[in-house]
Amino acid sequence: MDVKSVSESKVEIAQVMMPQHSNPAGNIFGGEIMSIIDNAASIVAARHTRRNIVTASVDRIDFISPVFVGNVVFAKASVNYVSRTSMEIGVKVDAECLITGTRAHVASAYLTFVALNENDKPTTVATLTLETEEDERRFREGKKRKEERVKSRKKHDSHQPCIARTKK
């Protein structure tokens, strides 16, 4: 079984917000920030597993402050928790005004990814080595969120999906 540390897969990405990312008032669309969050988290999940991964869920995204055209958005992402085939990735998003240098926390999110094998079936992921007290805290909190997700899913899983995927 592979073992990896949190630091081996963490990532920080940056992107300048342009007019096409905004509404007419110059505020960046929440969906644009969500896309950056999913991109950063998927990089972390792929680095941790070195496999094809899919987004299984987004627990929540909290938008804290607005982002404007011309701001640089920084998304910091790392693995919080791993189970047998899935992992929770935490993402913190900051924005910086390049004119003033002011930087603000603008969003946070937790996403769950599942690793897939060559047949697109869930497969085991590397266990996680916790190097710091913060890693340990995030792991404990991620485990609690996973338990809540499972409990919530059991309440709502009374129906079967009706979509089938065909292989190429």
Q: What is the pLDDT of residue 27?
A: 95
**Tokens matching residue 118:** 């060559």
Q: In the structure, what pLDDT confidence band is assigned to residue 26 with cuts at 50, 70 and 90?
A: confident
Which of 51, 38, 104 has the alpha carbon at shortest distance from 77?
38
Q: What is the pLDDT of residue 6?
A: 95
Least confident of 20-29, 109-118, 154-163: 154-163
Q: What is the pLDDT of residue 127?
A: 94
Which residues, 6+ apart, have CB-to-CB distance to 141 below 8 Å? 80, 81
* Mean of pLDDT values over 36-53: 97
pLDDT at 168 over 80: no
- Residue 63: CB atoms within 10 A of its CB come to 14
Q: What is the pLDDT of residue 163?
A: 61
Q: In the structure, what pLDDT confidence band is assigned to residue 167 with cuts at 50, 70 and 90?
A: low
Domains of the chain: 3-156 (3.10.129.10)
| CA–CA separation, 160 and 123 (whole Å) | 22
Q: In the structure, what pLDDT confidence band is assigned to residue 164 with cuts at 50, 70 and 90?
A: low
For the chain, what is the largest distance between any 2 Cα atoms, rounded to a whole number of angstroms? 53
